[in-house]
Amino acid sequence: MVVYKLLLVFITSLLLSVTSYANEQIYRFGPGDTIRVSVYLESDLYFEGQISQQGSIDFPLLGSLTLKGLTQQEAKHYIEQQLKDGYLVSPNVSVRIVSYRPFFIYGEVRKPGSYPYQPNITLEQAIVLAGGLKDRASREQWTIQRGEKSNIFKASADSIVQPGDVIKVEKSFF
């Protein structure tokens, strides 16, 4: 019995790490994300902080680097290329997400505001974090703005929230 429980824990942790790795490969950086950038054997070339509202970081030696819209892998290659241009022969750059940018929820919820992103959180769970629905809240008129202001779509309780999403809960008319 103990062996089965250990096997189940192992498989679950393996699946979570594979899911996390897959998410990191497709996740695109944006303002508010906190990242860590380091170069192997180059302790002076280190950055940990938030990506600015302009989508950039201030990296030692290189100055301002725009990372908005890049995946971790793309950012790694971009920084390596910048360092190869007259600074290092073969840099080994590591780029990691320390924390994701928050999501925002407003409208007919009890505690509107920003909340720390949690992977795989549903809209229903986000509403619970925001104190639940007010008495006059619509039970189905929910929208998510993702990225650009023109990218707004109707959402349901099981819609997955992404970092930086802006969620609006409308008022019910009845």
Number of other CB atoms surrounding residue 117 within 10 Å: 19
Which residues lie across from 104 on neighbouring strands?
114, 166
- Give the per-residue pLDDT at 27: 85
**Quick check: 11 and 141 in contact, CB under 8 A?**
no
Predicted structure pTM score: 0.72
- Strand spans (E) along 17-130: 34-39, 42-50, 56-59, 63-66, 93-99, 103-107, 113-115
All domains of the chain in start order, with CATH: 1-101 (3.30.1950.10), 103-171 (3.10.560.10)
pLDDT tens sequence across 22-44: 344 588 999 999 999 999 999 99
Eight-class DSSP state of 110: S
Task: Say which range, 16-25, 96-105, 136-145, 165-174, has the weakest mean pLDDT.
Answer: 16-25
What mean pLDDT do residues 69-89 have? 93
